[in-house]
Structure 1
Amino acid sequence: MSSAPVETVLVAGATGGTGRAVMRLAQSRVDTLRVLTRSSDAAADLRAAGADEVIVADLLNPEGLSAAVEGVDAVLSAVGTAPTAIPSGPPFVDGAGNRALVAAAADAGVDAFVMESAVGVGPEPSSPLATAFDAFIGPLQEAKAAAEAAIRDAPLRHTILRPGVLTNGSRTDLVTVADPGAKLWGVISRADVARLMLAAPTTPAAHNRTFEVVSKPRFPARNVSIDWTLP
């Protein structure tokens, strides 16, 4: 399976930790780095951080999404909802927002879609950490599961990453990437997740697949050997 060139990338969730890490890595590797934010106040800061283009639109009010995805080769979605927002109830950007972005990307003929999900999403056997995720942020896990299903049903080449506990640590490139049901548990830096997200569209072995990912502890016996290739 071959990879199409990735020249224009849209990062959704660019104001978050993983999104910023994706931006830092992508700005020297793609021709056009476009980012999506719902806050016009964040636009200047995002440009200063390396964005070539900033689109202001709300994934939960998605009329403006067609402009965001026009001419894009790959969408990298690192959007997420803070657990403190769960009591206010759905819709959550993890679910409805990602689904709206998937629909817009499919309509625009985008080639690839990459989503940052979480361990414990989906019906596969899970680790105690994933079970804890389900217990404490169950509504967000359910929203992510609905978004994952929409991605798999869409005419898009996709990769879904289910990281463990996210940290602000340095990029290590030492990660365990496993198929769903591997029962991974542990932590992973947002920088390591960002590398996998940016590499996924240009890594044929990652196409149309879902992975659990952690960096500490490592699980070599469960690891899927993939040559992750950045643009």
Structure 2
Amino acid sequence: MENVLVVGATGTTGKKIVQLLKASQYFEPVAMVRNNQQQTEFEAHQVKTVMGDLEQDVSHTAKNMDKVIFAAGSGGNNVKAIDQDGAIKMIDAASKWNINKFVMLSSMGADQPEKSDKLKDYLKAKHNADEYLKSSPLNYTIVRPGSLTNSVGDGKIKLSKSLNEQGEISRDNVAQTLVRTLHDDAPNKETFEIISGDTLIGKALENLK
């Protein structure tokens, strides 16, 4: 079993990731939490935790971890501190502890943030974090979904390095994709976009290779 640190474990998508990892025979989730209440909630469900706040020092959080999923988000508040600087801190922590893979939940549009009106600051922050990860010594996968919905996932997506179209995707399917990319046979050092589609997640990842 590999220990997977879930950054953003208390968020809507993060909680789904933790549940998937908990059900997996390969991975053990470790939820990064900011306070005792969050810690108690996860530990009540037999999920390990580590204390860490992206606006503080997080260099200790990746100790004894094998892989990291970064699914934290500012929700539009404090974009630079969380989506950019927080992600960069976690990449540094992962590098320090020589983790095997860093999976980044990014966003469609992060490749060209200047083209967005409303989300320019957010996408710029995601872009900077993605570029920092690419230049790091880490093995990584960067996943850029379209607009997130809360509809029930069907395990099917449309995936390409560049989709050239807008679209939505359920948080369920995003969480499944992120967890699938943890596997050793999943694409490494790749960046790709996903929206709802007709191809099973595993097959879509195979096709990318």
Do they fold alike, i.e. is TM over 0.5? yes
Q: Which residue of 1 aligns with 2:65?
A: 72
- 8 Å Cα contact 2:21/2:27 also seen in 1: no
What RMSD, in angstroms, separates the aligned Cα atoms of the two structures?
Answer: 2.3
Equivalence map 1:170-189=2 (5 Å): 170-180=152-162, 182-189=163-170
Tell me: CA distance 1:149–1:203, structure 2 relative to 1, closer, same or farther (3 Å): same
Secondary structure, aligned partner of 1:159: strand
**AA paired with 1:204?**
D
Cα displacement string for residues 191-211 of structure 1 (whole angstroms, at most 9, x for unaligned residues): 111111111121534211111
Match of 1:114 among 103, 114, 131: 103
| Partner Cα distance (1:157, 1:99) in 2 | 15
**AA paired with 2:92?**
A
Q: Which runs of 5+ in 2 are unaligned?
A: none
Q: Which residue of 1 aligns with 2:82?
A: 93
Q: Which residue of 2 aligns with 1:3?
A: none
Secondary structure, aligned partner of 1:135: coil
Cα displacement string for residues 84-141 of structure 1 (whole angstroms, at most 9, x for unaligned residues): x2xxx553311100000000000100010001111100139xxxxx95xx21121111
Equivalence map 1:137-176=2 (5 Å): 137-176=119-158
The count of aligned residue pairs is 203
Is 92-101 or 204-213 further displaced after alignment? 204-213
| Partner Cα distance (1:50, 1:22) in 2 | 15
Tell me: CA distance 1:171–1:190, structure 2 relative to 1, closer, same or farther (3 Å): same
Tell me: CA distance 1:121–1:31, structure 2 relative to 1, closer, same or farther (3 Å): closer
Q: Which residue of 2 aligns with 1:9?
A: 4
- 8 Å Cα contact 2:9/2:71 also seen in 1: yes
Moved over 3 A (4+): none
TM-score (ref. length: structure 2): 0.88
Cα displacement string for residues 30-61 of structure 1 (whole angstroms, at most 9, x for unaligned residues): 4532111223321111223452x211211121
Is 2:20 aligned against 1:25? yes
Match of 1:226 among 192, 205, 208: 205
Tell me: CA distance 1:10–1:208, structure 2 relative to 1, closer, same or farther (3 Å): same
- 8 Å Cα contact 1:118/1:163 also seen in 2: yes
Secondary structure, aligned partner of 2:53: coil
Tell me: CA distance 1:188–1:49, structure 2 relative to 1, closer, same or farther (3 Å): farther
Tell me: CA distance 1:123–1:58, structure 2 relative to 1, closer, same or farther (3 Å): same
TM-score (ref. length: structure 1): 0.80
Sequence identity (%): 26
Secondary structure, aligned partner of 2:102: strand
| Partner Cα distance (1:22, 1:191) in 2 | 9
Give how far 1:172 is off: 0.9
